């Protein structure tokens, strides 16, 4: 009788288990996350889908991150934001909306249709459009609106651009409070024809840029009925390159016009509008690349003449930038030195050097500034260098003999480097610029050396007074800190603090008994920097209980215990935490218990910092191998080595 049931029983169990299988498999597909999330500086509530591939979280499907805080709004002001769109395998794809708001409220509320309403005043940015394969596609609108009492007051900025796979197409329009800009592109994204910007307050004032397949031929400015035509590139240059219209492009145009003796402002009209738009697009691009990948650029294309730079020239340019920064830094330091500023009133030599420095800065360095900026932006290859260099010093290169008049009574006096003949300023090559800047740098160094003897003895006396005040202050705060934190620490840590306090006392005693002002200053300075470290370390040690709590809670994982139906914290990677708590921390304190010197303080400080950072990193990486190695290891130095090796290997 039972036989027939037995026959059914096994197939039935198999049947039941088979029914569950597909559910298990599907469960590993796209997952959804809702909760707090941070992208860059944007922290808010997220709702997105993702899958995991080789331990990486890859966004796939709808994505939303937003934040608004009523409490903050009512209290002071609130920065709200909303990013909504979707990803396809980690690449932005689909309709997207970006909103950034900065609002204040008058805190007055009203109830409308069962809703509490609060009026806000502020600024809201909004970008809407579609993205295909990470690139803007179709029509993209970006608007910045001023909101007053929850109503649109006026538009501060608007742009409307049509893209096809990231390439801008047809016409575009941009406007701010002052001007409107319209223009058009060829199918390949190159600027073409007339791009005009109109002044909204005086419509007859226009600025038009005339492009021919991306090459800027002419700028026409109509102002109060007068027309000014500026010819730009003729098209006769040897070779051309296609680049994006961005801030660098405008700087190239500005520098090019400067070589023609025309000064041109980038803070209004067309360059201003396009640069503003670029900033907004960059903001979106940065955001998208923080979570997935995208290439969200306006990519307006233009052609510019190209003048190749060879490797010799490029190394010379690097040298010029380096020398220039060094020279400027030294000159500014000396010119702002308070001792020199006092000394120059009574000492004619000091006054002579001071004036020479002013002369060098004004005649050698300041004219070079645009050149260095172009070099830093990697845009020198788009400009004719000899033309550019020619107009840096409009009245010819400065003279090696730097002549200054001290006052109306005395004769003018000159400063020349001893080896001035070795410098050749002739010509308009990059090399000539390099010579000028090197001459300036060497002159400043020479003046600095001449002045230093006079400055230091004065400075020393001043410094000693300041130093003593500092040392006493530092010692006091050290003592206070130690007294306040002792109770929460274990005996080893307390002993370490006692030793640190002792070291500070001893050093101060030694300083006080020293008589030679020079060596006293040197010793004082050395213990001042040591006191800094002692303070930092003391802070670090008094923070240890907190640090330990942080590490403890970091190495917990929430586990659902089915028998208790309760979520419990489980300690994870125990070998690592044991090594940290039982080996490393006691070892660090032991070093301070043995004998404390400024050197050990520095060592322990860097060990503490590094290991704490490593503990944070080790929590997130796979540490199976490391944990195996730690099983037998008790030597703290070896453990630190294993930590570093493991993290370096993981970083690769």
Partner 1 sequence: MKKNYAIIFLLLFLLCFSMTLWSQEKEKEELPFESKYKDPTTKVWVNTYGNIRIGKRFFWDAQTHFRFQETLNTPYVGQIAQIYNRHAIGYIYSKKTNFSLGGVVRINFNTDEESTDRNVVPEWRIWHQYQFAMPFYSAMIYHRIRIEHRWTQGFAENSEYIFRNRWRYMFRAKVPLNSHKLKAKTLYVSPEAELIMQSGKQVVASPMEDLRLTTTLGYIATPRLTFAAGMMYSMGQDLSNGGIYKQGWTMRFHMYFSPDFRKVKNKLPEIHLND
Nearer to partner 1, 57 or 321 (CB): 57
Question: What is the nearest approach in angstroms of partner 1 to the Cβ of residue 535?
Answer: 37
Residue identified by tokens 């197409």 is 169
17 counts as binding partner 1 under rule CB under 8 A: yes
Nearer to partner 1, 34 or 502 (CB): 34
Nearer to partner 1, 203 or 564 (CB): 564
CA-wise closest residue to 526 among 512, 536, 511: 511
Binding part of the chain for partner 1, among 52-60, 81-89, 134-142, 271-279 by CB under 8 A, reads 52-60
Question: What is the nearest approach in angstroms of partner 1 to the Cβ of residue 15?
Answer: 8
Binding part of the chain for partner 1, among 26-34, 60-68, 74-82, 344-352 by CB under 8 A, reads 26-34
CA-wise closest residue to 439 among 470, 482, 393, 398: 398
Question: What is the nearest approach in angstroms of partner 1 to the Cβ of residue 627?
Answer: 14
Give the contact letters, 540-569, x = binds to partner 1 (CB under 8 A), - = no: -----------------xxxxxxxxxxxxx
Distance CA 600, CA 500 (A): 11
Q: Which of 57, 244, 391, 454 binds partner 1 (CB under 8 A)?
A: 57
The set of residues, in sequence order, having a beta carbon less than 8 Å from that of 308 and lying 6+ positions away, is 239, 381
39 counts as binding partner 1 under rule CB under 8 A: no
Question: What is the nearest approach in angstroms of partner 1 to the Cβ of residue 184?
Answer: 46
Nearer to partner 1, 22 or 396 (CB): 22
Question: What is the nearest approach in angstroms of partner 1 to the Cβ of residue 292?
Answer: 15
Binding part of the chain for partner 1, among 17-25, 88-96, 264-272, 308-316 by CB under 8 A, reads 17-25
3-state secondary structure 597-629: CHHHHHHHHHHHHHHHHHHHHHHHCCCHHHHHH
23 counts as binding partner 1 under rule CB under 8 A: yes
Nearer to partner 1, 369 or 574 (CB): 574
Query: How far is residue 503 CA from its own chain's centroid?
Result: 39
Long-range Cβ contact pairs of 523-526 (< 8 A, separation 24 or more): 524/464, 524/467, 524/468, 524/471, 525/463, 525/467, 526/598
Burial of 544 per CB tally in 10 Å (0-12, 13-18, 19+) = buried
Nearer to partner 1, 473 or 625 (CB): 625
Nearer to partner 1, 24 or 203 (CB): 24
CA-wise closest residue to 637 among 578, 584, 574: 584
Q: Residue 561: what are its φ and ψ, rounded to 5°?
A: -95, 115
267 counts as binding partner 1 under rule CB under 8 A: no
Question: What is the nearest approach in angstroms of partner 1 to the Cβ of residue 35?
Answer: 7
Nearer to partner 1, 404 or 572 (CB): 572
HSE, side-chain direction, 13 A CA sphere, residue 146? 8
Give the contact letters, 593-622, x = binds to partner 1 (CB under 8 A), - = no: ---------------------------x--
Nearer to partner 1, 341 or 620 (CB): 620
Distance CA 357, CA 335 (A): 7
DSSP state of 317: H
Nearer to partner 1, 25 or 112 (CB): 25
Nearer to partner 1, 3 or 346 (CB): 3
33 counts as binding partner 1 under rule CB under 8 A: yes
Question: What is the nearest approach in angstroms of partner 1 to the Cβ of residue 622?
Answer: 9
DSSP state of 307: -
CB atoms within 10 A of CB 71: 8
152 counts as binding partner 1 under rule CB under 8 A: no
Question: What is the nearest approach in angstroms of partner 1 to the Cβ of residue 5?
Answer: 7
Q: How many residues bind partner 1 (CB under 8 A)?
A: 41
Tokens (6 digits) for 55? 């331990």
**DSSP letters along 115-154, please?**
EEEEEEEEEEEEEEEEEETTEEEEEEEEEEEEEETTEEEE
Nearer to partner 1, 461 or 568 (CB): 568
Question: What is the nearest approach in angstroms of partner 1 to the Cβ of residue 58?
Answer: 11
Distance CA 340, CA 88 (A): 64
CB atoms within 10 A of CB 583: 19
Question: What is the nearest approach in angstroms of partner 1 to the Cβ of residue 65?
Answer: 13
Question: What is the nearest approach in angstroms of partner 1 to the Cβ of residue 29?
Answer: 11
396 counts as binding partner 1 under rule CB under 8 A: no
Distance CA 160, CA 173 (A): 5
11 counts as binding partner 1 under rule CB under 8 A: no
CA-wise closest residue to 128 among 89, 92, 85: 85
Q: Which of 20, 265, 408, 516 binds partner 1 (CB under 8 A)?
A: 20
Residues in a beta bridge with 142: 127, 159
Question: What is the nearest approach in angstroms of partner 1 to the Cβ of residue 623?
Answer: 11
31 counts as binding partner 1 under rule CB under 8 A: yes
203 counts as binding partner 1 under rule CB under 8 A: no
Give the contact letters, 565-594, x = binds to partner 1 (CB under 8 A), - = no: xxxxxxxx----------------------
Nearer to partner 1, 18 or 227 (CB): 18
Q: Which of residues 365-384 bind partner 1 (CB under 8 A)?
A: none
3-state secondary structure 436-457: HHHHHHHHHHHHHHHHHHHHHH
**CA angle centred on 87, ends 82 and 91, rounded to 5°:** 115
Tokens (6 digits) for 259? 């070589």
Tokens (6 digits) for 272? 């201003």
Nearer to partner 1, 491 or 562 (CB): 562
13 counts as binding partner 1 under rule CB under 8 A: yes
Q: What is the sign of the dihedral through the CA atoms of 45, 48, 52 and 57?
A: negative
Distance CA 339, CA 359 (A): 20
- The residue ranges that bind partner 1 (CB under 8 A) are 1-2, 5-6, 8-9, 12-13, 15-17, 19-20, 23-24, 27-28, 31, 33, 35, 37, 52, 55, 57, 557-572, 620
């Amino acid at each position: 009788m039972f036989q027939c049931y037995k026959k059914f029983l096994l197939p039935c169990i198999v049947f039941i288990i088979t029914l569950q299988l597909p559910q298990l498999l599907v469960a590993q597909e796209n997952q959804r996350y809702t909760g707090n999330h941070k992208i860059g500086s944007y922290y808010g509530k997220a709702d997105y889908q993702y899958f995991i591939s080789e331990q990486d979280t890859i966004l796939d499907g709808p994505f939303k991150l937003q934040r608004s805080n009523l409490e903050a709004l009512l209290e002071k002001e609130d920065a709200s934001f909303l990013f909504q769109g979707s990803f396809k395998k980690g690449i932005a794809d689909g309709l997207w909306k970006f909103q950034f708001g900065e609002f204040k409220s008058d805190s007055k509320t009203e109830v409308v249709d069962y809703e509490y309403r609060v009026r806000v005043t502020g600024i809201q940015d909004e970008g809407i459009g579609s993205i295909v394969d990470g690139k803007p596609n179709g029509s993209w609108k970006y608007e910045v609106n001023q909101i007053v009492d929850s109503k649109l007051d006026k538009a501060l900025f608007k742009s409307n651009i049509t893209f096809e796979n990231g390439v801008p197409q047809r016409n575009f329009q941009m406007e701010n409070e002052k001007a409107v800009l319209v223009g058009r592109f060829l199918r390949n994204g190159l600027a073409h024809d007339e791009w005009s910007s109109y002044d909204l307050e005086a419509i007859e004032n226009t600025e038009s840029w005339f492009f021919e397949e991306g090459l800027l031929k002419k700028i026409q400015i109509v102002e109060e009925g007068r027309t000014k035509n500026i010819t730009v590139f003729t098209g006769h240059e040897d070779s051309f390159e296609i680049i994006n219209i961005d801030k660098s492009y405008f700087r190239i145009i500005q520098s090019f016009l400067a070589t023609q003796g025309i000064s041109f402002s980038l803070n209004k009209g067309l360059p201003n509008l396009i640069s503003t738009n670029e900033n907004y697009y960059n903001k979106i691009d940065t955001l998208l690349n923080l979570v997935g990948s995208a290439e969200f650029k306006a990519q307006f294309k233009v052609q510019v003449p190209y003048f190749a730079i060879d490797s010799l020239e490029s190394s010379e340019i690097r040298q010029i930038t380096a020398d220039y920064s060094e020279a400027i830094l030294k000159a500014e330091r000396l010119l702002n030195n308070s001792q020199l500023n006092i000394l120059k009133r009574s000492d004619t030599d000091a006054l002579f050097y001071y004036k020479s420095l002013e002369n060098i800065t004004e005649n050698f360095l300041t004219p070079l500034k645009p050149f260095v900026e172009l070099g830093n932006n990697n845009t020198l290859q788009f400009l004719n260098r000899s033309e550019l260099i020619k107009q840096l010093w409009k009245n010819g290169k400065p003279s090696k003999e730097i002549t200054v008049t001290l006052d109306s009574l005395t004769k003018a006096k000159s400063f020349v480097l001893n080896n001035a003949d070795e410098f050749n300023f002739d010509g308009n090559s990059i090399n000539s610029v390099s010579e000028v800047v090197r001459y300036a740098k060497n002159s400043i160094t020479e003046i600095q050396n001449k002045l230093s003897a006079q400055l230091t003895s004065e400075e020393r006396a001043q410094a000693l007074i300041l130093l003593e005040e500092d040392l006493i202050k530092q010692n006091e705060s050290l003592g206070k800190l130690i007294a306040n934190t002792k109770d929460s620490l274990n005996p080893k840590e307390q002993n370490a603090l006692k030793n640190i306090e002792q070291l500070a006392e001893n050093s101060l005693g030694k300083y006080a008994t020293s008589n030679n002002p020079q060596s006293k200053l040197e010793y004082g300075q050395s213990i001042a920097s040591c006191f800094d470290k002692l303070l930092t370390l003391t802070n670090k040690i008094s923070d240890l209980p907190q640090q330990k709590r942080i590490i403890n809670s970091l190495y917990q994982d929430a586990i659902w215990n089915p028998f208790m139906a309760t979520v419990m914290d489980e300690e994870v990677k125990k070998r690592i935490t044991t090594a940290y708590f039982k080996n490393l921390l006691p070892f660090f304190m032991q070093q301070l218990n043995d004998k404390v010197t400024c050197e050990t303080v520095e060592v322990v400080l860097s060990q503490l910092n590094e290991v704490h950072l490593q503990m944070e990193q080790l929590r997130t990486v796979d540490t199976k191998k490391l944990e195996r190695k730690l099983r037998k290891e008790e030597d703290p130095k070896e453990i630190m080595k294993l930590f570093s090796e493991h993290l370096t290997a993981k970083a690769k």
